[in-house]
Structure 1
């Protein structure tokens, strides 16, 4: 589905309820599968979360998680530690190109029974679940934090718990803290200090209900809209001032663009009033790489040069996000340089018109570019890809005055 998206420059005002965080929801679902005493509120309605829910109901046969990278990592560890499971875990063509070897190696060293169906290091995986009693495992720290979280989420089921020793500089630390905090909220004790994580054993938990905070990554697109607008007031719920999500750094980053964040009891209010002169932006996003696309497009819309670092994990996401950003931004006339972990953007003097933005099976490409319609009308290809994390995205944009056809 290709859509055309436009919006006039009128002030932006509205209130939206954003779906629960995919990151929090998926972690809680893995815990709930091991501890049915956990009840979950405000669960994400994303495709990824629905795919994970369906997969957790299987004990044998083929499980196809499509494009859901989080599900691939978390389920690899989960199925490997569930006795009597006999699963072939597979996904989309792109998923079969995304590396999984470091996690599989770690699980195999712990005693897990996992085989590669085709190419070594990549899905599909043949997994025979078994009771694992390993007490310690080493893992490189500069890889996707989801590998680490996957091991943390199953560690409490081990008789002696699990010690994870991280080697090198840790990437996406907030996501490790998020996993730890969610586990603690459920009643599982854990520690993280000096590149060492320890998850205490928990044979059983007390009954509890855990509310999922709305997704800060999804909020990023409305920060972008507020920044691009001359006047804006957008209320988003359900958000907390003390968030577990690393992308909550948006509130501080977008002050650079003149957007203020007011925290209410269960919501945030984004405000911007009047144009302002903006300097270039330089940010290290190693702890929040998922908002890199949003920030880059905000800078494109406002004609602000930017330099973003800490982006090495973007090359193994739904697509190579660094290359995809370069391809699509340059269609509008901007100039982009990319390295192994960085992006530099130099603004254009005027926007190219009649651009059609490719989305590369990547939900964040579609949503990150959408706010640019406040500056120039354009098309977005395969717009339905947003259902991966935010199925109501286009409807919510229309509530804020965007025309989507």
Structure 2
């Protein structure tokens, strides 16, 4: 569906919104619940990815199609590899079959897992025959997607002898690894992360408990962007969030201070206020630990008329699309000049074009949502707007509630 989006009539917005549970936390807890059924979960994400993960965990034999869900692909690969007697073909969309997974497969094979590539070497789909795994040591590169590492950490407590993971090189996306380990601790699983070594102990069962998923900080980024681009006095309250969040994207509160947004924590909510006009010329950030918010920040800078250099983005080319290439193409439609390399994006101080362009989304939910706040400054079209359901099905409804004028084209 193609949507036309333009700014609210009143650019001093006052609104409260309940955000869906974190996709990252939800998928981790769903896997732990499959291993330890005594766990209960509340405030699950209503995203496509979470639903795909739930369905996949229920399969014992046959095909498991995770569509575009990269997290599910990585987590389910480890899950099925150590489920004795389960035989599945783990597959996904055309794009998923282009996303490498050999690092994780090699690590699991070194532990004794039985995994074959059904089509192209190094890529899904995967034919997995679950086995009892007794080996307890594995090493893998540290500068890869943290989801590979989290995937191994999550199944580790169900292995006969637990798991010691040695990370070789400089570690990236540390907050996501720490999130995984903190959730293990929360359910009573002993673990440690010292230097480049992670240890997770084996456990046969955990105490029954109910875990509440925090709302998604990545989703909050789009409202930070709206507030940054809105008039002074704008205030948006979002629930439910923790000041001591496990999510790496909670760094938003600090980053957006520089972009004029004040964050106040109040019980289980955050209040975002447009506190000042931004006067800087350019913003430089290393987003190694929070690459998923790079698109939002780049669009915010475009709307504010400031440049930016965002580094630490080496995982973005292997996401739902090549996000660096896609961002260059779409930002330049609005008159920006953009330079990219394998791990960075530089936005030259832009002059925003007011032509009503059409933003392509490349089957990538974050492309649609990152550009949406730019409607505070100029109206435009969004192609294939339904991709937001991957992580945030209520996105357009929530944006409309802020006063944005959204019509089907």
With normalisation by structure 1, the TM-score equals: 0.99
CA distance in 1, matches of 2:95, 2:218: 22
| 1:351-366 matches, cutoff 5 A | 351-366=353-368
Q: Which residue matches 1:304?
A: 306
Counterparts of residues 103-252 of structure 1 (less than 5 Å): 103-231=104-232, 232-252=234-254
> 2:65 aligns to what?
64
Structure 1 residue aligned with 2:45: 44
Q: CA deviation at 1:274?
A: 5.0
Backbone CA RMSD of aligned residues: 0.8
Return the alpha-carbon distance in structure 2 between the equivalents of residues 255 and 65 of structure 1: 37
Among 330, 334, 337, the residue aligned to 1:335: 337
Partner in structure 2 of residue 277 of structure 1: 279
Question: 2:3 & 2:25 partners in 1: Cα distance?
Answer: 30
The DSSP-based 3-state class of the residue aligned with 1:105 is: helix
Deviations 1:87-121 (A, max 9, x none): 00000000000000000000011000000001100
Q: Separation in 2 of the partners of 1:216 and 1:89?
A: 29
Alpha-carbon deviations, 1:135-169, whole Å to 9, x = none?
A: 10001000000000000000001122100000000
CA distance in 2: counterparts of 1:373 and 1:272, whole angstroms: 17
Extract unaligned runs of 5+ from structure 2. none
3-state SS of 1:255 partner:
coil
Q: Which residue of 1 aligns with 2:19?
A: 18
Residue in 2 that maps onto 1:323: 325
Matched residue pairs, number? 405
Shift of residue 186, structure 1, vs aligned partner = 1.1
For 1:90, the equivalent position in structure 2 comes to 91
CA apart distance, 1:262:
0.3
Check the 8 A contact 1:9/1:374 in 2, yes or no: no
For residues 309-365 of structure 1, the C-alpha deviation after alignment (integer angstroms, 9 at most, x for no partner) is 000000100000000000000000000000110000013334141100000000000
* Among candidates 258, 265, 268, match of residue 267 of structure 2: 265
Contact residue 307 and residue 350 of structure 2 kept, 8 A: no
- d(CA) in 1 for partners of 2:193 and 2:275? 42
SS at match of 1:306: strand
TM-score normalised according to structure 2 size: 0.98
**1:55-89, CA deviations, whole angstroms, 9 ceiling, x for partnerless residues?**
11100000100000000000000000001111000
Report how far residue 10 of structure 1 moved: 2.0
Q: Distance in 2 between matches of 1:273 and 1:159?
A: 54
Cα deviation per residue 1:337-396 (whole Å; 9 max; x = unaligned)? Answer: 001100000133341411000000000000000000010000000000000000000000
Give, in angstroms, the shift of residue 13 of structure 1.
1.1
CA distance, structure 1, for counterparts of residue 82 and residue 206 of structure 2: 18
Counterpart for residue 295 of structure 1: 297
After superposition, what is the alpha-carbon deviation per residue over 1:235-269, rounded to whole angstroms, capped at 9, x for unaligned? 00000000000000000000001100000111000
